[in-house]
Structure 1
Amino acid sequence: MPTARLSAATLALSTMAASALLVGCSGSVNVEKSEPKLSADKLATTVAEKLAATTGRPKPDITCPKDLVGKVGTKTRCELTADDGSTLGVTVTVSSVSGDKINFDIKADDTASPAKN
């Protein structure tokens, strides 16, 4: 019977997720519009920076498919991709909005998905 093993990158992703969950992670960004909105690219950059600061590891490769609207409770899903192609989901939730500043919490999934072949 074959034994499943985690790759080093998948293990690192799981460790990073666990670290982010234990420490907690949040961020905030100032935006300059009447309806606060953070672009998907800026969100991905901010999430990567916050995860790196929380875990003490280099900035991960993060992609976010859509802009984040500055309304409390709004959620979006981003994806962290490791060097070996394995991925980890990251949920971003708006916790508060003050004028043009969007504050949000970041929560990484508990487990990584293996690389797609």
Structure 2
Amino acid sequence: MTIVRLSAATWSLAAVSVGVLLGGCSASVDVGTSTTKMSSDKLATIVAEKLAATTGQPKPDISCPEDLAGKVGTTTRCTLTADDGSTLGVAVKVTSVDGDQINFDIKADSAASPAPN
């Protein structure tokens, strides 16, 4: 099995290009609860999968600070962290809710923040 390791520069470049690629990217998830809400862990997993599928890169390290409420217009910010410690913000915005299904758009920032020294 071949393991692909991306250099920090490659991931940073890929992360920046994600902003261009994800301008109209969206996702849809059935959360299966009475209160329509998606856990921060599930949201991070879905965002990582969508980014990987869009860029053709391995799933990035994504963290989301809070659960996503199933209300149109609700937003949250997730963070992509590259191997070198640089980060890229990823905005998530709920576009529609159909019962337990939350539909949302994903948009990565256009520039990464450098790793802390």
**Ranges of 4+ aligned residues in structure 1 off by more than 3 Å:** 6-9
Aligned length: 110
Alignment match, 1:79: 79
Which residue of 2 is the match for residue 44 of structure 1? 44
Equivalent pairs: percent with the same residue? 66
State the 1:54 CA deviation. 1.2
**One-letter amino acid matched to 1:106:** I
Measured on the aligned residues, the alpha-carbon RMSD in Å equals 1.4
Residue 63 of structure 1 deviates from its aligned partner by 0.1
Deviation at 1:85, TM superposition (A): 0.4
C-alpha distance after superposition, 1:44-97 (max 9, x if no partner):
000000111111111111000000000000000000000100000000000000
Give 5+ residue unaligned stretches, structure 1. Answer: 1-5
- Matched to 1:30, the amino acid is D
Give the TM-score of the pair, scaled to structure 1.
0.88
Structure 2 unaligned blocks of 5 or more: 1-7
Aligned to 1:105: 105
Instruction: Report the counterpart of residue 15 of structure 1 in structure 2.
Output: 17
Whether the aligned pair in 1 keeps the contact of 2:17 and 2:110 (CA below 8 Å) is: no
Q: CA deviation at 1:32?
A: 1.8
The alpha carbon displacement at 1:15 in A equals 2.1
